[in-house]
With several copies, the nearest count.
Chain A
């Protein structure tokens, strides 16, 4: 539906290189990357907002097979919502929402119905006569969403829509985006650097690093099967170890780890295990048959993260990091220095090749 093909963009101080994306209709797609990776630049390029000091050679962007590469933003049929809402400060919430109507051939009756629907859905009936500076962050984002939604764009681009909000509003707007996506089947393209948020909202996505797409696919797949150390660290896989891999076994620092039978691992040189996959075994359940990697080690560090603990376990010099609940820890009376038995399924061990 939205397709970016061999897209390049060179700015004096930064460039996007050979971007290829394909986003399906009705999908919630995430462009994920650290600050300065170029993700917002790519989003604006899709919108048609290209810095004037960029060059000309820049591949193609298609929307429903229509080449929109050289169309101005107003002719693309896309909508955008920024983290700071970017509401027009001199117009009321209602005037903001209806701003775009006169540039679109819309039936006024239909538009009025759509407006009523959105006002109700977004819960902004009481805000319509107010000016943006008097609105809270969450209220601003609701109005900004209404302003875009009323035009029925073919896709809505979201530029870190939650990052400028207080935690309570973040949750509120996140739920709202989820329900808009599920109920109205809108195609969303969201830029974010917050992985939990992406995991909650998006179905698929792409990781951007230094202007290049380094991995794309289903979010759950990226989350569990990173293809490089950068992605592994970025998605919060704390256990990333260089390893020598030999058929269904991996050796890291002398520790032998069983792998699930799988082909194509010849060149792999890293393994990764998500910390929540590493479970605490009680001594009597140490031979749980679903867990085929079992090790004994010592706790070298515990840090409380609210309702769970990050626990560091040293197994023959390999430092595993696990996430265990308060209850897990209390049941066995664990402390710094305690001897523990840990385990993880061979299926939870992911391997990849990193050239770095």
Chain B
């Protein structure tokens, strides 16, 4: 940390700034650090052999991956459209994309459940299609897509915006049609942001609890299982599961930082 102040004798201003910001850094690392180092290895080993834990972790991972896939397939065109075109109502669409970040989590769950209520047109349509929301993987995936989506779209959009429009124009002038231009110029230059966006979407989906618990207490995702263990058995018994989920999250997180760093260098 010393090198913050190298090269200058009188950088007291930045030293003060740094001292002032220590409490927040502690607020983040102390609880997490303590928790990860809390449970002993025996507890951790026993926990990961628990079939309920394994199935909850895997359920979290694959429902989240499904949400990422949906966001990628349907979100990429939207992100590109928002990055490249100006049109009436664009601000409104951007607003809609950001909405899920603002909505309280249990409210999201209630809203999505409400959609499937039998006394509505959509609910009846879903029913005739045989689609159940309450207590199903479909419901979990819908909720996770809802919360993860803005992260993918906004990050991918920033990636597309960072590709100079001029390069696309030049590609067109060299004979490439719009989709050829997208594939040969835009995509290779923006893919890093797209991957970054997918990881952020995945991380956000894996961490969701409040919306999922409304839509599906069972089958249990990892955050729901942690909550259940906490309410049923107390702090000590929920920690080992929490640590395992943190490991998964941290792995995603390291991936994300890796991509974010590569991009700036």
Nearest-CB residue, chain A, relative to B184: A99
Do residues A99 and B172 form an inter-chain contact, with CB atoms below 8 A? no
Check: B261 CB closer than 8 A to any chain A CB.
no
Do residues B166 and A103 form an inter-chain contact, with CB atoms below 8 A? no
Interface string of A141-160 (1 = CB under 8 A from B): 00000011001000000000
Do residues A86 and B175 form an inter-chain contact, with CB atoms below 8 A? no
What CA separation (Å) do A48 and B175 show in the bound complex?
Answer: 12
What CA separation (Å) do A103 and B174 show in the bound complex?
Answer: 8
Do residues A52 and B173 form an inter-chain contact, with CB atoms below 8 A? no
10 contacts between A and B (CB under 8 A): A52-B7, A56-B7, A72-B8, A73-B169, A74-B173, A74-B175, A88-B167, A88-B185, A90-B188, A99-B174
Nearest-CB residue, chain A, relative to B9: A70
The interface size of chain B toward A, counting residues with CB under 8 Å, comes to 27
Check: A49 CB closer than 8 A to any chain B CB.
yes
Check: A303 CB closer than 8 A to any chain B CB.
no
15 additional contacts, CB 8 Å, given A80-B170, A88-B185? A49-B173, A52-B85, A52-B86, A52-B87, A53-B7, A53-B86, A72-B8, A73-B169, A86-B167, A86-B169, A88-B167, A88-B171, A100-B174, A147-B174, A148-B173
Which one, B10, B169, B175, B180, contacts A44 given CB within 8 A?
B169
Q: Answer whether A74 and B177 are a contact pair too, CB < 8 Å, given A49-B172, A55-B7.
A: yes
What CA separation (Å) do A56 and B6 show in the bound complex?
Answer: 8
Select the residue from B9, B166, B177, B178 with max chain A CB neighbours within 10 A. B166
Which one, B4, B172, B184, B189, contacts A74 given CB within 8 A?
B172
Check: A110 CB closer than 8 A to any chain B CB.
no
Do residues A103 and B176 form an inter-chain contact, with CB atoms below 8 A? yes
Q: Which of B131-184 contact A (CB under 8 A)?
A: 164, 166-167, 169-178, 180, 184
Select the residue from A51, A70, A72, A84 with max chain B CB neighbours within 10 A. A72
Check: A327 CB closer than 8 A to any chain B CB.
no
CB-CB < 8 A to A86: which residues of B? 164, 166-167, 169-170
Q: How far is the CB of A279 from chain B (nearest CB, A)?
A: 47
- B: residues with CB less than 8 A from A are 4, 6-10, 85-87, 164, 166-167, 169-178, 180, 184-185, 188-189
Nearest-CB residue, chain A, relative to B170: A86
What CA separation (Å) do A353 and B160 show in the bound complex?
Answer: 51
What CA separation (Å) do A82 and B174 show in the bound complex?
Answer: 13
Select the residue from B86, B174, B185 with max chain A CB neighbours within 10 A. B174
Which one, B7, B10, B184, contacts A50 given CB within 8 A?
B7
Nearest-CB residue, chain B, relative to A157: B173
Nearest-CB residue, chain B, relative to A79: B173
Select the residue from B6, B175, B188 with max chain A CB neighbours within 10 A. B175
Do residues A78 and B173 form an inter-chain contact, with CB atoms below 8 A? yes
What CA separation (Å) do A90 and B8 show in the bound complex?
Answer: 29
Q: How far is the CB of A205 from chain B (nearest CB, A)?
A: 22
Top 10 nearest A-B pairs (CB, nearest first) are A103-B175, A100-B174, A73-B172, A86-B170, A86-B166, A90-B188, A100-B175, A80-B173, A49-B169, A73-B173
CB-CB < 8 A to A50: which residues of B? 7-8
Do residues B7 and A84 form an inter-chain contact, with CB atoms below 8 A? no
Q: How far is the CB of A255 from chain B (nearest CB, A)?
A: 48
Q: Which of A17-48 contact B (CB under 8 A)?
A: 44, 47-48
What CA separation (Å) do A50 and B11 show in the bound complex?
Answer: 12
What CA separation (Å) do A70 and B87 show in the bound complex?
Answer: 20
Q: How far is the CB of A145 from chain B (nearest CB, A)?
A: 13
